[in-house]
Amino acid sequence: TDRKKLHTAPVGQVFRLRPFHLLVATGGGYAGYRKYEHYKVEQLEKRGIEVPVKLASEWEVALYKSVPTRLLSRAWGRLNQVELPTWLRKPVYSLYIWTFGVNMKEAAVEDLHHYRNLSEFFRRKLKPQARPVCCVHSVISPSDGKILNFGQVKNCEVEQVKGVTYSLESFLGPRISTEEMHFSQAPPGNSFQQQLVTKEGNELYHCVIYLAPGDYHCFHSPTDWTVSHRRHFPGSLMSVNPGVARWIKELFCHNERVVLTGDWKHGFFSLTAVGATNVGSIRIYFDQDLHTNSPSYSKGSYNDFSFISNNNKEGIPMRKGEHLGEFNLGSTIVLIFEAPKDFKFNLKAGQKIRFGEALGSL
């Protein structure tokens, strides 16, 4: 009579798959398959074989977005903060260095035992002379990385990679009030692109830089400019490697991103830090109110913050080469700016570039 009763569930209930688990498993498996497909494409391109662009269908994008990349990225961020035992640091960091080709000779601190956790290692600083800033050209690369695309913005569309575009307005969001910016009022009938161009005879240009996991993860000011406004888009955290960028149209519009807008000597200037898988954390050094990949923000919205106030009429002045922010792992920087028609890029698509090197000049 004192025996405890053992309650058992039917076998069907124990092994019953919930729709969410099934969706996650399917989405994760499909994402892995796509990564393998992208690897094959990269191998063909290295052999000089041109591969036609094949865009993902709506259901494929929806399936990929069903993977809980935001949750996984938050978990990865917490894991990065865990302090490693001193004896384990060198083996762990050495594996990462070997996998992604990190050049530790450029690091300000080469001793791997110095970095208490993965986050500190990812955000390592460079030696002062490791990245000399070009003084001759007006726009420099804000980070290390690979040039995915560059050129003029045409018909309100921007190329994320060759042959794959996204909407300029969807990427930047609605135009900011002229009261917060130093721009002239554009006629209401003009296109979104024309409204951004403030000086007659100027054009709108863009440049996309992909940061691989092994690259230096801080980014800097690409020119002398003033930051007036920040717009944060909570969103997905899909991979932004070149293979995925040529597969998913408007990838950068789907992903979480932080858009900094302002002006330089030639008019409108913007720098956008785009998040990616395991890179939910985007930090802007002068913006303590920014919190990315937070569960309190929902996808499909955006929140604005103005750096112009009663006490600060100008915004945040940035000097060329000055520290601006940082990622964890790797991601993408997109520059969209106004310049005279004789502005020329000194680049080739696909080339590797380092922070401080010239992007272009007049």
When the pLDDT of each residue in the chain is averaged and rounded to a whole number, the result is 82
Nearest to 76 by CA among 293, 290, 345: 293
The predicted model scores a pTM of: 0.81
Which DSSP symbol is given to 268? Answer: E
| Cα→Cα distances 175→7, 142, 191, Å | 62, 24, 11
CB 298 within 8 A of CB 229: no
- Side-chain-side CA neighbours of residue 112 (13 Å): 18
| Measured distance CA(154)–CA(76) in Å, rounded | 38
**91 pLDDT exceeds 60?**
yes
Which DSSP symbol is given to 189? Answer: T
| Tens-place pLDDT, residues 197-256 | 988 889 999 999 999 888 888 899 999 999 999 999 988 888 887 778 888 888 888 888
Question: The tokens of 92 are what?
Answer: 């762990």
Q: For 10, left (φ over 0), alpha (ψ -120 to 50), or beta?
A: beta
| Measured distance CA(357)–CA(362) in Å, rounded | 15
Report the pLDDT averaged over residues 345-361. Answer: 90
Report, in angstroms and rounded to the nearest whole number, the Rg of the chain calculated over CA atoms.
23
Neighbour tally for 283: CB within 10 Å: 19
Question: The tokens of 94 are what?
Answer: 């050495």
Q: H helices of the chain, where?
A: 11-14, 19-46, 58-65, 69-80, 86-100, 118-122, 168-172, 192-196, 242-245, 251-254
| Measured distance CA(116)–CA(90) in Å, rounded | 11
| Tens-place pLDDT, residues 243-281 | 788 888 888 888 889 999 999 999 999 999 998 877 667
| Tens-place pLDDT, residues 283-332 | 899 998 888 877 777 767 788 999 987 777 788 999 999 999 988 777 89
| Tens-place pLDDT, residues 10-57 | 544 444 555 545 555 655 565 566 566 666 666 666 666 655 667 888
148 vs 17, which has greater pLDDT? 148
Give the residue numbers marked as catalytic. Answer: 144, 220, 331
In a 3-state reduction of DSSP, which class is residue 18?
coil
Domain layout of the chain by residue ranges: 69-123, 139-175+192-361
| Tens-place pLDDT, residues 165-200 | 888 999 999 877 655 555 555 555 578 888 899 888
| Measured distance CA(147)–CA(113) in Å, rounded | 33
| Measured distance CA(190)–CA(163) in Å, rounded | 26
Report the pLDDT averaged over residues 147-159. Answer: 89
Sign of CA dihedral 243, 248, 251, 255: negative
Gap between the terminal Cα atoms of the chain: 92
Predicted confidence at residue 325, as pLDDT, reads 92
Predicted confidence at residue 128, as pLDDT, reads 82
% of the chain residues with pLDDT over 70: 80
Question: The tokens of 220 are what?
Answer: 């800097």
Predicted confidence at residue 29, as pLDDT, reads 66
| Measured distance CA(221)–CA(319) in Å, rounded | 6
